[in-house]
Amino acid sequence: MSSDLAAVSRRAIVKSILGLAVLAGTTSLTPVGFAAPAPGTPFSFDGLTAKMRDLASRPYAPGAAKLPDFLANLSYDAYQKIQPRNDRALDLGGAGIGYKVEPFHLGWLFKEPVVLYDVKDATATEITFTAADFNYHDSATADAIAKIDLPGVAGFRLDYPLNSPDKIDEVVAFLGASYFRALGRGNFYGLSARGIVINSWLAEPEEFPRFSSFYMTHDTPGQPLTVYATLEGPSVTGAFAMAFDPASADRQTTIVDVTARFFFRQDVTELGVAPLTSMFLYADNNRSQFDDFRPQVHDSNGLYMINAEGELAWRALNNPPSLGNSYFYQNNPKGFGLMQRDRSFEAYQDAGARYDLRPSVLVEPLHAWGEGNVRLIEAPAKLEAEDNIGAFWVPKTPFKAGDSAEFRYRLHWGDLLPDAKSPLAYVLDTRSGQGGVSGVENKETLRKFVIDFKGGVFNDPDFDTSKVDVVATISGGKVNFSAVSKLPGDGVVRLAIDAEIDSKDPVELRAYLVGGGKQLTETWLYQWRAA
């Protein structure tokens, strides 16, 4: 196993906790409330579910043990030197190339332990880790660790031959609260998923339930690996089953099938299901705000949605001057996700971060979710280490104490490029700036929005754009002008809109192209805010 895979990048760690100071504020060293199974206890998902249902009937009781000071006060550099020993990874296949588990050490920002269990023949046995499972690469830390028993681990990662059949790569990592992130074939880590979101960016404080224990099943050749987890928080408990099916030579994406069962201790104002967290700093729509040699910096550049009728919508992301909130009503959605559409290195020019290789994630419900909203959060960000984008499903009816709920969905991690065979052209790029005619003085209230569509009927080199009509609406403003033109290159058509906006309130824009009595493009959505 290559040593570079053992390291967690500074940016990956910092991104997972910025804005989440509550993660570093607790000193509990024991799983909250949940009683660990005795050695050799029979294990099943239904049995785990029953235990979490029972736990929800009792008050939340965080532990009181404190992390040793030398671990709690580790610097980033000292923490980064602590690496799991590849030769001591837990082999879930039992022989050679297959799934392997490697722990993350406690310390620095990661102060809460999780407990891992090995499930074999339907029996759960706790996996214990010692200092012998790590290389410390720092004598002071090694000497201090030698004087204590290792007080658990902060999380873990699953390794698998993702990119080559004879080389182990990292596939998924769990570290911090209910956060986890996965990779498709050839990807770099980017956005994260979460087990649940409670009251994010509302009037009351956000709650961060955490995965407190994990159960590792054994590898069956050619089959997904299922990891079970318990979730605990002041307002909710949960039981999760997550089946990981890594990308392969014939499929670029890694697929995770999730079953999430929730039991509510308290009323919850807003529950976020299948949450995704990402970063958008700037792109063509707001590049003028950043003095940087790179053309774009983001992990994701759009929210993609598929409603029950099959309408495809693309909400271009923004880094607004103030907190942005958008709710998109859906009834039994077919999918939503945060996408990184531009896969060219030239779009980013970052040889280290490789934003062109960050994965997209699509959430696909596996049963009818009913009515609700896809919520998009866009928070102001000045640094690329800040995860300022959130997207998740909000059920129409809030949950009360004593309620329970189950959600099943599939997460697709990978490049997720638009379907080349789709009859609809997709949104390739979004730009904005001062409206009106170039080279003359224009009204300050005039804004220009330029949307490039690619593919679909526009792949026909003889397609006549004069036969295309524009459907464009704007709240809090007026569309003064719109024009459609074909660009040089393969199948790209540009829509330019001049909108008069004399409002300090958020303005919602919506546009698509039609021709021959049918829609020709995805529906483009955007929210503009005055500085």
- pLDDT tier at 31, thresholds 50, 70, 90: very low
Q: Which long-range contacts (C-beta less than 8 Å, at least 24 apart) are formed by 513-516?
A: 513/425, 513/453, 513/468, 513/469, 513/470, 513/471, 513/484, 514/468, 514/469, 514/470, 514/471, 515/457, 515/467, 515/468, 515/469, 516/467
- pLDDT tier at 30, thresholds 50, 70, 90: very low
Q: At which residue do the structure tokens 């290792």 appear?
A: 150
Angle at 384 between CA 380 and CA 385, to 5 degrees: 100
Q: What is the mean pLDDT of residues 498-516?
A: 92
Is pLDDT of 442 > 90?
no
Residue 207's pLDDT is what? 96
Nearest to 158 by CA among 212, 76, 219: 219
- pLDDT tens per residue, range 270-280: 999 999 999 99
Run of H or E residues at 529 = none
Nearest to 413 by CA among 174, 229, 277, 252: 252
Question: Mapping DSSP to helix (H, G, I), strand (E, B) and coil, where does residue 42 land?
Answer: strand
DSSP string, 76-122: HHHHHT-EE-GGG-EESSSSSSS-EEEEEPPBTTB---BEEEEEETT
- pLDDT tier at 18, thresholds 50, 70, 90: very low
Is pLDDT of 93 > 90?
no
Nearest to 360 by CA among 324, 335, 385: 335
Residue 94's pLDDT is what? 62
Instruction: Identify the bridge partners of residue 390 per DSSP, sorted by sequence position.
Output: 277, 377
Is residue 201 left, alpha or beta, with left meaning phi > 0 and alpha meaning psi from -120 to 50? left
- pLDDT tier at 145, thresholds 50, 70, 90: very high
Residue 502's pLDDT is what? 80
Lowest-confidence range among 31-35, 257-261, 451-455?
31-35
User: How far is the C-alpha of 418 from the C-alpha of 415, rounded, in Å?
Assistant: 9
Residue 61's pLDDT is what? 85
Q: What is the mean pLDDT of residues 69-74?
A: 92
Q: Can you list the domains of the chain with their CATH numbers?
A: 1-269+398-417 (2.70.98.10), 271-397 (no CATH), 426-528 (2.60.40.10)
DSSP state of 38: P
- pLDDT tens per residue, range 373-430: 999 999 999 999 999 999 999 999 999 999 999 999 999 999 999 998 999 999 999 9
Is pLDDT of 2 > 70?
no
pTM recorded for the entire structure: 0.91
Residue 26's pLDDT is what? 30
